[in-house]
Amino acid sequence: MIKILIIEDDAEIVEYLRLAFQVNIPEVEFISARLGATGLQKASEEMPDLVILDLGLPDIDGFEVLKALRKFQRMLIVVLTARGDERDIVKGLELGADDYVVKPFRQMELIARVRTLLRRQPGIPEREILHCGRLVLDTARNDVSMPDGRQVELTRTESLILARLIRDCGRVVEHSRLAEIIWGEDYPGSVNALRVYIGRLRRKLEADAASPSLIVSKPGHGYYIPAGGLTG
C-alpha cells in the first residue's frame, strides 16, 4: 500500500482528493489532518510515502510545517495551496517541497504529478557519482561537491535536473525533456515552473546567480552546462 497524508483544513478538498485517489490510485491508503500540529504527529507516527500540504493552516504557518516535514528525508512533499505568488513558490521549493501546485488545480494533473514522484521513490536510490569539471554530484545523497570544498544539499528534484544537465554536459537539454524528468510529461506552464527550479540551483551553485556561467539558458529551447563544466 502507498500511504498519503493530506494536511488540509478544507474538508471538501480532502474528500475530493480522497475520492480522486481511490479511483485513480486504488492502492493508496489516505490519511488526513486539518491542523499542522496534528499533521506533523501523524507524519511521525504513520511515516507516509507522500504528504500533500496546504500552506494556509489555522494553527501553524504552512512553511513551518514544511520545514518540520523536510526532516523526514525520504518523505515526498507536494505543496497544494492558493498562494501562487512567485515568492511563495520559490520559498516553498527552497524549503524542500518536491512539487508546488497552485489552487484551483486540475485533478488529473495533480494525480499525474503524484504518480511521477512515487515512481522515483525506490527503497534505496541507485548511487551514481556524476562529474562535470570539478562539479561532483552524488545522486543517492542529493548533494554536490564544489571546488571550494563546500557540500551543497539539493532536493530530489534539483538533483534530477542537475544530473540530466551533467549527463548532457555541453549539450542543450530542452524544456520538454526536463519537464518529463520532473513530472512525467510536459504540460502548459512547465517552462515557468522549470525557471523556478533553475533559479534555485543557480543560487546554490553559481558565484553570481544573476550572471550564470554554470547553468546557461538557451532562450526558447532549454538549459545546458558548458563543456568542461565548473573548473574552479
Q: What is the pLDDT along the chain (232 residues), one digit of tens a residue?
A: 789 999 999 999 999 999 999 888 888 999 999 999 999 999 999 999 999 999 999 999 999 999 999 888 678 899 998 888 878 887 888 788 888 888 888 888 888 888 888 876 544 455 688 988 778 999 878 889 887 788 998 887 888 899 999 999 989 999 999 988 877 776 666 787 788 889 889 999 988 988 998 899 999 899 999 876 554 4
Q: Quick one: which of 77, 154, 69 has its CA closest to 114?
A: 77
pLDDT at 50: 94
**d(C-alpha 102, C-alpha 5), whole Å:** 18
CA dihedral 221, 119, 157, 175 (to 10 degrees): 10
Q: Could you tell me if 103 and 153 lie in one domain?
A: no
Q: Could you tell me if 32 and 102 lie in one domain?
A: yes
The verdict on residue 7 lying in a domain is yes
- Beta strand 2-7 with 50-53 is parallel
Q: Could you tell me if 7 and 115 lie in one domain?
A: yes
137 within 8 A of 166, measured Cβ to Cβ? yes
Assigned C-alpha cell, 72 = 523526514
Q: Could you tell me if 72 and 6 lie in one domain?
A: yes
Residue 133 amino acid letter: G
pLDDT at 123: 46
State the DSSP code for 230. B
The verdict on residue 170 lying in a domain is yes
What's the structural domain count of the chain? 2
Q: Could you tell me if 114 and 209 lie in one domain?
A: no
Q: Could you tell me if 105 and 133 lie in one domain?
A: no
Q: Could you tell me if 156 and 62 lie in one domain?
A: no
Instruction: Domain of residue 93: give its range.
Output: 2-119
